[in-house]
A and B are shown apart, each in its own frame.
Chain A
């Protein structure tokens, strides 16, 4: 079983977001990076599948130097090797272009399974796994909370609105991980030591053969500007004992806010 895992380095979810000077990005000064939380489930699933079925696991991350730390951490948890997709052309990439680069890196690797997170927090796009599946011409199951591999087949439980759906399909396939898939482990000290000797290969757009394709798709969508959401107006405090608070609240919801 050969497994690819796509990991995105994103600002720590506790980051206080400020807008950069050009308004085309957030202010990156002092930002601490982590693997997107859903990607941790993807990494963990890859390691567990290898423990059970044998094989090889390779992490892929497209991004700047922050991606190296995140890949190193994934290696410490147990991935075998990693590929860092790095190029100035890759700055602030849209999902289509990101997936083009990842697809080029993954395509000829003979992977049976490509694991992603269901969402890269920050961009909050929920797009790359499905695009990747289309580019690689593979079946997909997204937002997966349970995965079983049985020979050349997979069985996945997906989360949809108000229900869970069982999807059965053939490998190779792209699967995106949702919270609940597993409980990610922390890297052990032994793992951290071992990770130092594991290889991270760097590939740029030319090496991946995607320079033209990405220049073309990058031009298809443009950031007009980033902004902070408008602050909400000062609210109203409702005082008194529980009974009078309840009465006043219901009155305000009906007659002032008109929402009930």
Chain B
């Protein structure tokens, strides 16, 4: 019994020291080499598959997530030099984008430039796409075009694929 207690206490102590060391090492290596490459400002979440009535308009809610600390311009940015977020579906995919309804942007100002009000999306947002699909199974490669920034820097405009399996019944 005493032996088991000894083993238990030794394991706990070793674990505590090991975990602290590993955590510290991991944090310091991260702080010293923070790459500027941020390739995943926006991620498409879901749906991966939808069933819609063939030949009739159907509403599909597309969910996206913006990486923490970043924002993207809304569909209606506050200034004409800013790049709006837009969703599109290429022609010839068997699915037509009839219309897209975008959420209203959140008003945001940068600490260094409080006079300029920006209309942005942060966190998660949903685009309501109204689509018309022909009968059959269509693997649609929609496109989301956006431009992301944090408080001090901006990344170039980017287009990501929005892959949805649309089944027209």
Determine if chain A interacts with chain B.
Answer: no
Taking Cβ atoms with an 8 Å cutoff, the residues of B that contact A are none
Taking Cβ atoms with an 8 Å cutoff, the residues of A that contact B are none
